[in-house]
Amino acid sequence: MKLKIKSGDTVTVVAGDHKGSEGKVVSVDSEKNKAIVEGVNVVKKHEKPSAQNPQGGIVEKEAPIHISNLSLVEGGKPVRVGFEMRDGKKVRVSKKSGEII
């Protein structure tokens, strides 16, 4: 299935503990249908001392969020996304304005 959210998109969280939060998509895992959003769903991870991190400790990092809980933002408001063929190419289109995303 083609995902409607890509890396670099600005999204808002529409469901879950972080509902209402906005951020930029850092990466997308299309197999698991999850995305990592900058500054959203930050968790604390305990790390053992290693060669790269000799001190170890507690590190904060973003955890993945399911794509169904995210909505693309255009002009400050969430919009639905559709696909259309334009000039022989399949492009993402905003359902609200009809413009190419």
Tokens 């959210």 locate to: 5
Across the chain, mean pLDDT equals: 92
Contacts of 39 (CB under 8 A, 6+ apart): 21, 23, 62
Q: Which residues pair with 73 in a beta bridge?
A: 78
Quick one: pLDDT at residue 98?
Answer: 86
Q: Is the pLDDT of residue 1 over 70?
A: no
User: Could you tell me the CA-to-CA distances from 72 to 46, 75, 85, 87, 95 in Å, in that order?
Assistant: 32, 10, 20, 24, 11
d(CA 10, CA 23): 6
pLDDT of 19-41, one tens digit each? Answer: 999 999 999 999 999 999 999 99
